[in-house]
Structure formats: C-alpha cells, structure tokens
Amino acid sequence: MPEQPKFAQIKQHIIDQIRAGTWQEHQRVPSENELSDQFKVSRMTARRALSELTEDGVLTRSQGLGTFVASLKSQSSLLEIRNIADEVEERGGNYSCVVLSLESMSAIAPIAIALGVEIDSQVYRSVIVHHENEEPIQVEERFVNPALAPEYLQQNFTTLTPHEYLTHVAPLTEARHTVEAIMPNEEVCQWLNMFNEEPCLQMIRRTWSSQGIVSFARLISPGSKYRLGGHLTFKK
C-alpha cells in the first residue's frame, strides 16, 4: 500500500490528537513552522494540511493568534432519545418515511472525528424524510460506523427506523447532542416541502454503545411543525 502524502500524514496526526483528547476544543495546535520541523516538510505542505482541516471545520484560524481546535458542538444530553415513529403514533398520527439515500462513502475529516474512524475510511450514510400523516416533519441524515452495524445498508428503513435498528444491534449507552435554529438550504426545503422561508430546528447527535461510537446524525425539522421537550426529575 503506497505511503500517504506528507500533508495527509499531518492531517491524520492532528485528527488523532483531537480524537484521543490530547488536544481539546479551542486549544492552539502547532504552527506551520512547528509542523514543518516535526515532519521534515516545507511550510507549504504544513499550510496545506492546516488549510484543508480549517475548510472542513475541524480547525479554526485567527489572524495573528494561530490555529485552534474548532468547537465540536457536542454536549451531554438532557433529553430522552426517542424513536420518531413512536412519537408520531403517540400523537395519533400515521407514520411513514421516504428513503432518499442509503450508501457507503469515504469519511471526510469532520465525519471521521465524529465516528472515531480514519479519514477516507468507508462509513455508511442514510438520508430519510420522516412523515406524519403524509406531511414531512423531519430530515434525518445519519452516518454510521460499519464496524458496529455491518448490515446497516441491507435494512428496509420504510419498516423500521435507523434508531430502532441501531438500538437493537448496538444498544445505546450514551448520547450527546446540540440543538440550534438554522435557515435550511434549498435541498432541505425541497425535502420538507417548504415553500416559504422559515427557520428550522437542527439537532446534531452522536450515539455510543459499549463498543464505541455508533452514529453521527443531523436531524432537521421545520420550526412550525416540530418542537422539542423534556422532563427532568431531581433527587431530593
């Protein structure tokens, strides 16, 4: 197997340090000069590695200050992880979905970090639009670690949701997410049948089993059709 180009080796080194927790969010990473000395390469090669990771959102650069680990946008979950099909049925609605994509792909840097796998390794991706009474209420884009769900691409997700399947083959032990308001792009608007511009609720979620990170998902719902709630019980 041919050796990776030097810039790719530097990128992988940075990814490994972030994934291992050696370099934390917002921590300064080595400069171009420091990386060029460490890897015995030109500054241009080191700059390419830093620039590509910055474009991918893994790093962030501040003029005059240096390059830092970008925010991974994850936090401890305070909400119960629920199956959307169950939510719809509990409201008395009829659940259905449309599977737009079910494929294997090479993991770019942000996905590799999120799933704890190597850059350019194969991961699984699904894009599903969930419906309530034939109206689209959520787009789910999910990336899955093949090592923990090897038969993911063979599933019929019109009869069970990815959440149901993954909970069965890799029982969840932990979940982290962030929730934020976004303006959807044209593609998401088409999937959700949104003809008027309106904010959407986006949830970024990572899930773990006892064997490692199972999936990384982006869930987008129209603000006018979906809301998020939770119930907390505190010990006295």
Residue 174 CA to residue 119 CA, distance in Å, equals 24
127 in Cβ contact with 105 (< 8 Å): no
Burial grade of 12 (CB within 10 A; 0-12, 13-18, 19 or more): middle
What's the Cα-to-Cα distance from 157 to each of 38, 105, 137, rounded to whole Å? 48, 19, 16
197-224: burial string, b at 16+ Cβ within 10 Å, e else: eeebbbbbbbbbbeeebbbbbbbbbbee
Residue 192 CA to residue 91 CA, distance in Å, equals 20
Instruction: Please state whether the predicted TM-score (pTM) of the whole model is above 0.85.
Output: no
Structure tokens at 229: 């709630």
pLDDT tens track for 88-132? 887 678 899 999 999 999 999 889 988 989 999 999 999 999 998
Say yes or no: do domains 6-69 and 84-222 share a fold.
Answer: no
- State residue 2's pLDDT score: 64
- State residue 61's pLDDT score: 83
- State residue 1's pLDDT score: 52
- CATH of segment(s) 6-69: 1.10.10.10
Enumerate the domain spans of the chain.
6-69, 84-222
Q: Which residues of the chain have pLDDT under 70?
A: 1-2, 71-81, 91, 225-236
- State residue 74's pLDDT score: 35
- Which fold is adopted by the domain 84-222? Chorismate lyase (3.40.1410)
- State residue 231's pLDDT score: 43
